[in-house]
Amino acid sequence: MEDVKSKIEKLTEHVTEYAETRWDLAILYVTEKLSGVISKLTVFLILGLMGFFTFFFISLSAAQWIGSHYHNMALGHLVVACVYILISVLTYIFRKPLIQSVVINTILKNIKDDENDESDRQS
């Protein structure tokens, strides 16, 4: 009878140890994914900020150049603003085929790659 009791205790210990190990593995997996997302977000924000300033100064330079060409600085800024309004309208009109489909396909590809990586780890 004590032999059965000791086997049950060992089994309970093994099950507890297994559950704790699975929990630790899940925490590591979430930490890995979260750190990947944070690093990608950081790179995206830095590149976005650099891109913003680049376009900002290019826009100012273009407005100054157009304004000096026509001897009217306000006209130069107006022309650059109209170009940005045109780009914004075109982006809004073509948002589904150009932006949404690309974002959806990228997300689906990342999910598929994650599933492939996980199945490779388990093999």
How many whole angstroms separate alpha carbon 3 and alpha carbon 100?
A: 64
pLDDT of residue 106: 81
pLDDT value, residue 115: 65
What are the residue boundaries of the structural domains of the chain, listed by start? 2-122
The two tokens of residue 51 are 């891109």
Q: Which residue has the higher pLDDT, 116 or 75?
A: 75
Distance CA 32, CA 47 (A): 23
Alpha-helical runs (H) found in the chain: 2-70, 73-93, 95, 101-122
Tell me the per-residue pLDDT of 27-67, one tens digit each, with 9 for 90 and over. 998 888 888 889 888 999 999 999 999 999 999 999 999 99
pTM above threshold 0.85: no
